[in-house]
């Protein structure tokens, strides 16, 4: 009976191609929005997890403001961290097997030039010390980082992102030992970072790193607040290290015992958790939007099935007159409704997966197949088909065969 009902449903769909296509399109758009947005969110979560896993759960930063996620009202500005304070902390903080680094964003719109090649004016220049690459989870793929002597001497050396190396030199290996211009200043390339893609609107592939003393000499204009990063030997040491770092920096800033900290200490995994928490609200909103679209699609499907029942009243009468029971008639129309939903749903899910992976590609993530959302999408197709098709199917099953045969 299932095979027979499926064949009849296919014939009915073929005879109403335009009407079926419109209904399937509405359902497909709903599922495309749902699966596409949720797949993209999964890709973003994966990118965040990868970025912070690379940095390590055993790191934390000391900075002058809170985490700016979800709007300006979440930001708490505190006293800027001066270079003297940051240096004093690094010199005095002697936690066993811990490394500390200092950094600051010296310029956000630099242009790099090499011979007749140049980048767009969107390169970020960071002033760092010799431990920065270790504490920030960045890996130097070719060349090397900076020595303490080079940092303290403010040598005109530079480590560049892989995107910049590809733009100026064609590949990363050719960049080593070459001289580039950052604005009007010349630097020798000593290292190229391993590509990490983009995350949260920031790409290390399009960033460059120079000695913090060199940066202070050429780019230290206006108010600057420095960031201190600390990496412990293992994650078990992190709470003790944070406690000691807090005490040490309070002493450096002469914070009274009865006053709260005038700086923030942020763990890398806390920042990742905060981002995940905010993304969960986007997931909820996307789910609501998708369900609203599917609700509209189910109403449209119900109307089409009611019209189909009316148009096929005589056919129903003939089938009943040759022995078809009300249950068989009901199953026939339910099968047709579910089939229409599956046609639109499969197309919508496929487009949603493509859109989600396009977003993943843009943010530097990997290809993902969201099996959970695909399964949910197919389940919703069946639910919408049954929900929207039940009333028209029940109406068809209750038709009197004699009256149905008289219908013109």
Residue 61 lies in a domain: no
306 and 248 share one domain? no
The single residue listed with the structure tokens 């940066």 is: 215
pLDDT value of position 125 = 95
Write out the residue range of the structural domain in which residue 119 sits.
Answer: 79-262
pLDDT of 309 higher than 80: no
Residue 62 lies in a domain: no
- d(CA 167, CA 118) in angstroms, rounded, equals 8
pLDDT value of position 316 = 75
Q: Please tell me the least confidently modeled range out of 18-22, 252-256, 276-280, 291-295.
A: 276-280
Highest mean pLDDT among 25-39, 62-76, 153-167, 284-298: 153-167
368 and 388 share one domain? yes
243 and 389 share one domain? no
Domain total in the chain:
2
Confidence bin at 90 (pLDDT 50/70/90): very high
Highest mean pLDDT among 21-35, 63-77, 262-276, 300-314: 21-35
Percent of the chain exceeding pLDDT 70 equals: 85
361 and 314 share one domain? yes
Helices (H), 210-325: 212-219, 238-252, 268-311, 313-321
pLDDT value of position 150 = 95
End position of a domain, from candidates 262, 297, 318: 262
Closest among 127, 113, 134 to 220, alpha carbons compared: 127
Residue 130 lies in a domain: yes
Q: Is 154 left (phi over 0), alpha (psi -120 to 50) or beta?
A: left
pLDDT value of position 407 = 58
The single residue listed with the structure tokens 């890996």 is: 139
Residue 8 lies in a domain: yes
- d(CA 214, CA 25) in angstroms, rounded, equals 60
Q: Give the residue, 56 or 88, on which the prediction is more confident.
A: 88
91 and 222 share one domain? yes
250 and 308 share one domain? no
257 and 351 share one domain? no
Average of per-residue pLDDT across 304-323: 76
pLDDT value of position 71 = 46
pLDDT value of position 119 = 93
**DSSP per-residue string spanning 22-62:** HHHHHHHHHHHHHHHHHHHHHHHHHHHHHHHHHH-TTEEEE
pLDDT value of position 396 = 76
127 and 235 share one domain? yes
Q: Is 159 left (phi over 0), alpha (psi -120 to 50) or beta?
A: beta
289 and 247 share one domain? no
Q: Name the CA dihedral angle for 360, 278, 280, 34, rounded to a multiple of 10 degrees.
A: -50
Q: What is the pLDDT of residues 159-216, one digit of tens each?
A: 999 999 999 998 888 999 999 999 889 999 999 998 876 554 457 888 999 999 999 9
Residue 64 lies in a domain: no
Residue 294 lies in a domain: yes
138 and 191 share one domain? yes
End position of a domain, from candidates 235, 262, 289: 262
323 and 218 share one domain? no
pLDDT value of position 69 = 45
Q: Please tell me the least confidently modeled range out of 10-19, 197-206, 324-333, 359-368.
A: 197-206
Residue 269 lies in a domain: no
87 and 139 share one domain? yes
End position of a domain, from candidates 238, 262, 286: 262
Residue 65 lies in a domain: no
Handedness of CA 149, 152, 157, 160 (dihedral sign): positive
pLDDT value of position 213 = 94
């Amino acid at each position: 009976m299932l095979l027979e009902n499926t064949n009849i449903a296919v014939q009915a769909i073929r005879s109403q191609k335009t009407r079926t296509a419109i209904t399937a399109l509405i359902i497909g758009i709903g599922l495309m929005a749902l699966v596409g947005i949720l797949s993209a969110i999964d890709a973003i979560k994966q990118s965040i997890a990868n970025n912070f896993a690379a940095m390590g759960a055993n790191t934390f930063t000391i900075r002058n403001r809170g985490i700016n996620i979800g709007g300006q009202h979440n930001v708490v500005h505190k006293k800027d961290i001066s270079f003297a304070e940051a240096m004093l902390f690094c010199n005095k903080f002697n936690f066993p097997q811990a490394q500390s680094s200092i950094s600051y964003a010296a310029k956000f719109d630099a242009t790099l030039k090499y011979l007749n090649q140049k980048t767009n004016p969107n390169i970020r220049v960071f002033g760092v010390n010799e431990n920065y690459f270790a504490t920030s989870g960045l890996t130097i793929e070719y060349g090397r980082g900076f020595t303490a002597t080079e940092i303290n001497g403010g040598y005109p050396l530079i480590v560049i992102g892989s995107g910049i190396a590809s733009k100026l030199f064609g590949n990363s290996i050719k960049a080593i030992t070459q001289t580039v211009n950052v604005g009007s200043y010349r630097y020798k390339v000593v290292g190229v970072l391993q590509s990490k893609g983009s995350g949260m609107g920031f790409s290390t592939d399009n960033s460059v790193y120079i000695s913090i003393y060199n940066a202070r000499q050429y780019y230290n204009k206006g108010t600057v607040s420095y960031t201190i990063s600390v990496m412990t030997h293992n994650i078990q040491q992190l709470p003790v290290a944070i406690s000691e770092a807090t005490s040490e920096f309070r002493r450096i800033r002469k914070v009274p015992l009865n006053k709260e900290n005038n700086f923030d200490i942020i763990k890398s995994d806390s920042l990742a958790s905060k981002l995940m928490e905010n993304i969960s609200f986007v997931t909820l909103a996307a789910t609501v939007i998708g369900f609203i679209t599917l609700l509209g699609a189910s109403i449209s499907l119900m109307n089409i099935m009611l019209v189909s029942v009316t148009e096929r009243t005589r056919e129903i009468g003939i089938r009943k007159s040759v022995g078809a029971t009300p249950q068989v008639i009901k199953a026939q129309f339910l099968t047709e409704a579910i089939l229409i939903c599956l046609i639109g749903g499969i197309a919508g899910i496929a487009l949603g997966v493509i859109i989600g992976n396009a977003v993943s590609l843009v943010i530097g993530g990997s290809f993902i197949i969201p099996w959970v959302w695909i399964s949910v999408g197919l389940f919703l197709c069946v639910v919408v088909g049954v929900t929207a098709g039940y009333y028209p199917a029940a109406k068809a099953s209750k038709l009197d065969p004699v009256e149905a045969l008289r219908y013109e």
